[in-house]
Amino acid sequence: MDELEEVGKIITEIVEEKTGYDIGNEKNDINLVQKGILTSIGFMEFILSVEDQFSVEMDLADKHPREFASVSGLAKLICSAQANRDSATKSGFYSKSDITEVIQKSGLTSGDTVFVHSALVSLGSFSGGGFAELTGIFFDEIINIIGQNGTLVVPTFTLSFCDGNIFDQDNTASENMGEFSEYVRMRSNAFRTLHPMQSVAAVGKYAEELSNKDTESAFDIGGPFDFMINLDSKVMLLGASIRYNSC
C-alpha cells in the first residue's frame, strides 16, 4: 500500500467514525456532502479532524470544492501538505528570541484585546522544547505586550455538541483549536463563555465580562464576538490561515 492509499484509508476511518456510515464499498471519489454522508457543518468539522490527524493545514482557498469533498481528493491534498510541511521543517529551527521578535513586530500594543487562532505545528521546529514550553512562551510574550489592561481571547469550539456530545463549560476540551487554545482555556485565571458549540476562553481585563455574553449564537448582537468587535479587537494568526478567522 503506497502513501496515498494509506492516507485515504485513514481518512475513510475518520469518516466512518464520525458518521457511522460504512463507505468501504463506495468509490473514493464520491462527493461526501452531495452523497449526504456529511452535512455542510459536519464537513468543516471533518476537515479540521483530518488536519489534526495528520498535523497539517491544507490551503483550500483556491481549491474547487470537488477537489476536497472526496476521500481521494483529500488524500492528495494531505500528501501535498505533508510534503510542504516536511520541507519547511528541514529548513531549520526557530528559537525563543525569534518568537519575541515576531510578537513585538506584530502590531500589538498595551491594552489591546486580541483574538488568537493558532496552528503551532505549521510553524516548524522549535529549538526550546515541546508544545508545553512553546505555548507558554507565546502566551507570555503576548501578555508582556498587552499588559494588565489587555485581554487575550482564543476559540474553544466544540462542534461535536451537534452530534449529541455533552458540553461542560469547565471541563470539556476544545476540538481542533490547537495547543495554544487549550493552554489558555486551562489557565486558572481564564474565563470561558457558555455557548456549547462556539465558546471562547479569555484572560485579562475583559475576560470575565466577555464570559457573561450568552446569546443563542455566539455571533449574535450582544454576544462575545460582537463584544470583541466593539472593543476594536485585533486578530492574531499563529500559524493558522485566514480562513480560520472567526471574528
pLDDT of residue 143: 97
List of the chain residues with pLDDT < 70:
1, 24-25, 27, 40-41, 61-62, 85-92, 243-247
pLDDT of residue 33: 78
pLDDT of residue 147: 97
**Would you call 201 helix, strand, or coil by DSSP?**
strand
User: How much is the pTM?
Assistant: 0.68
Please give the helix or strand (H or E) that residue 154 lies within, else none: strand 151-155
pLDDT of residue 17: 83
**What CA–CA distance (Å, rounded) separates 215 from 235?**
22
CA 141 remoteness from chain centre: 20
pLDDT of residue 25: 65
pLDDT of residue 92: 61
pLDDT of residue 109: 96
Taking each continuous run of H as one helix and of E as one strand, the counts in the chain are: 8, 7
pLDDT of residue 13: 86
pLDDT of residue 131: 81
**What CA–CA distance (Å, rounded) separates 99 from 39?**
39
pLDDT of residue 129: 79
Residue 223 DSSP label: S
Helices 40-54 and 3-19 pack at an angle, to 10 degrees, of 130
pLDDT of residue 197: 92
